[in-house]
Amino acid sequence: MSAGEVRGGAVRGDARPALGRGFRFQWEPAQKAHVLLYPEGMVKLNGSAGEIMKRCDGVRTVAEIVADLESTFATTGLEKDVHGFLTMALEKRWLEMRA
């Protein structure tokens, strides 16, 4: 089992999420949104999801991503939301965890 693998919905803080194989993630000026592209389809992400996804570079850990978001947006208590989004994104294979 790799680090951060989903177990009953739990995401480990030391796991390093990265874009899933076969996906392309980018900012689209025409849609004013981040989008996720995959074979013959597209997901348009809202601002929050885009901010999380763009930090998932396979280098930063989940804990570092949470800290960065809290600092960037001058807020606290984002861990639960971020974990929730990551759990869903892992299920959909938008993201995969690097050890």
Partner 1 sequence: MSADGSATGAGGAAASAGGATAGPAASAATSGAPADTSPPGDTVGEPNAARVGNPGPPLWLLCELTYTCPLHCVFCYNPTDFAKTEQQEELSTDDWIRVLRQGRELGAVQLGLSGGEPLTRDDLETIVGEAHTLGYYTNLITSGIGLTEERIKALKDAGLDHIQLSFQDSTREVNDFLSSTRTFELKSKVAALIKKYEYPMVLNVVLHRLNIDHVQEILEMAESMGAEYVELANTQYYGWAWHNRERLLPSREQLRRAEETTNRFRERVGSRMRVLFVVPDYFERRPKPCMNGLGSVFLTVTPDGTALPCHAAKSLPRLTFPNVKDASVEWIWRDSPAFNHYRGDSWMKEPCRSCPEKTKDFGGCRCQAYLLTGDPDNADPVCDLSPHHHLVTEMVEKASAPDTASPVVEHPLIFRDRKNSRALSS
Rounded to the nearest whole angstrom, what is the least distance from the CB of residue 84 to partner 1 in the complex? 3
Strands lying side by side in the sheet with 41-44: 24-28, 33-38, 41-44
Residues 79 and 70: beta-carbon distance below 8 Å: no
Residues 6+ apart with CB under 8 A from 6: 87, 90, 91
Which parts of 6-65 interact with partner 1 (CB under 8 A)? 21-22, 24, 26, 28-31, 33, 35, 37-49, 51-52
Binding site residues, partner 1, CB under 8 A: 21-22, 24, 26, 28-31, 33, 35, 37-49, 51-52, 69, 73, 78, 81-82, 84-85, 87-88, 92-94
